[in-house]
Amino acid sequence: MLKGGATTKDEPRGLTATEMSFSMLEQWVEEHRDDLLGFAAKLVATPSPNPPGDERAVVAVILAEMECLGLDGAQICAKQPHRPNVIFHLRGKRPGATLMLCGHSDTKPVGDTVKWRTDPMEPVFRDGRLYGLGSTDMKGAVAAMVYATAALKQCDIPLAGELLLVIDADEERSMSFGSEYLAAECGIKADVALLGEPSGIDGPEFEFLHLVSRGLCCFKIRVRGTQMHSSLSDRMPSTSANLKLAETLARMQTELQLTFDPHPLCAAPTVNLGVKIEGGLGYGVYPGVAEFQSDIRTLPGMTHERLRADLERCLQRIRHDDPSLEVELEFEEPPLDWFPPTEVNADHPLVDMLLDAAQHVVGRRPKLGAFPGGTDAKNFQMMAGIPTIPSFGPGWLPLAHGPNERVGIEAIIQAAKVYALASQRFLKTESQP
Ligand SMILES: [Zn+2]
């Protein structure tokens, strides 16, 4: 039984108004479960890989479904015509706060298909799962958000404020056509936002409610040597950039120490040195320059300046031990040089409402956590000033961007219920001024 909700005079069987709304919403979703699952399958069957990035076909499917569900009047905001973002306002009868539900319509490209047991573009329902590219990241959640909005509209639940449904483009690559464009140029506004990124990590679906979205810092370490005719490398002074690079990489792997304050929801930052290595020109040429790329997944509280100082301090120690070493640090171009971490306070009212709704629908209260990767939260929170919960959705993050991507069928239904219930409670008239 959910807490909250004022008791009204004419309630049957002692149910509060909120509980009556809850059972109506849950019943509506149950009655439409086949349509909801069919819609999720249609989204999977409509490719939207990014790169190259073109969301027109999948957005056409979304708009058609919304029209069938009575969600008329969706707007398209697009920096370029082939990168549409869908925006829909479900306005309440009284003024109040705005809650934004947001999912992205693009996917990563399929990549290597050898390990797929099904056709990645063909939605397959099997063993309680929906298989297909984008099923877990995050077409299942997009379908659930559309149906949650429809449930609130169709059940004619009295709301204050508004539910803002946003289905954005380009999350999987630059975000410049999606959340960045919406935040910087479309004036998108809300009091709080929820992203439906998959929230299972190494346990069940809805394992976590993620309040933190970790940041990302990308950089290169470049080493210089002596480019020369390789037949002379043992007769003349020569330094191989590739060998120096190998030594530098190995030393940094054991010696780099990052400065960060402990965070209650995060373990240490994740450091990936040498995600790509390049060096030399090939046979006959002694290597004159080599570099490796690296990324670090950062925590709230870390700053670019401190991270730069940590990297420079480590390089300085290596230079000190090897005066012949020519090594330099170069950060990537923005935004990859510093994609900031974000965080929503655990005492934000929406957090408890989502946890309560999950307890009611899923039968378990998810743990609070930190989403390991970057999300649209960066742009909505840092540019538009909207506190953004980065991930609470069906599916499992480890299955995203890989073979045999799948999402729990029941979790899609549960997500629609959780989104509808938490939205109803956040926007319910009695709690609004
Ligand atoms: Zn995603």
20/249 Cα distance (integer angstroms): 61
DSSP 83-100: SEEEEEEEE-SEEEEEEE
Centre of ligand 1 from the C-alpha of residue 8, in Å? 41
Centre of ligand 1 from the C-alpha of residue 70, in Å? 27
pLDDT for residue 433 is more than 80: no
Instruction: Give the CA-trace dihedral at 12, 13, 19, 21, to 10 degrees.
Output: -30
Centre of ligand 1 from the C-alpha of residue 104, in Å? 7
170/290 Cα distance (integer angstroms): 32
Distance (Å) of CA 320 to CA 189, 259, 314: 52, 21, 10
Centre of ligand 1 from the C-alpha of residue 232, in Å? 52
Distance (Å) of CA 310 to CA 256, 260, 271, 306, 313: 7, 10, 13, 6, 5
Residue written as tokens 């590739």? 242
pLDDT digits (tens, 9 = 90+) for 374-421: 999 999 999 999 999 999 999 999 999 999 999 999 999 999 999 999
Q: What percentage of residues in the chain have a pLDDT greater than 90?
A: 92
Q: How do beta strands 84-91 and 75-78 pair?
A: antiparallel
Q: What is the DSSP letter of 397?
A: G
Centre of ligand 1 from the C-alpha of residue 398, in Å? 11
Tokens of 16: 């509060």
Centre of ligand 1 from the C-alpha of residue 36, in Å? 20
* Best CA proximity match to 151, nearest among 66, 29, 63: 29
Centre of ligand 1 from the C-alpha of residue 227, in Å? 44
pLDDT digits (tens, 9 = 90+) for 61-102: 999 999 999 999 999 999 999 999 999 999 999 999 999 999
Query: Which range (5-14, 295-304, 349-358, 401-410) has the least confidence?
Result: 5-14
Measured in whole angstroms, the distance separating CA 116 from the mean position of its chain's CA atoms is 23
User: pTM to 2 decimals?
Assistant: 0.90
Residue 1: the pLDDT is 37
264/14 Cα distance (integer angstroms): 40
Contacts of 60 (CB under 8 A, 6+ apart): none
Centre of ligand 1 from the C-alpha of residue 168, in Å? 11
**Per-residue confidence at 7, pLDDT binned at 50, 70, 90?**
very low
Alpha-helical regions (H) of 161-240: 179-184
pLDDT digits (tens, 9 = 90+) for 222-263: 999 999 999 999 999 999 999 999 999 999 999 999 999 999
Residues 142, 148, 150: CA angle, nearest 5 degrees: 105
Domains of the chain by range and CATH? Answer: 15-214+341-431 (3.40.630.10), 216-331 (3.30.70.360)
* Best CA proximity match to 389, nearest among 338, 347, 342, 339: 342
Centre of ligand 1 from the C-alpha of residue 138, in Å? 5
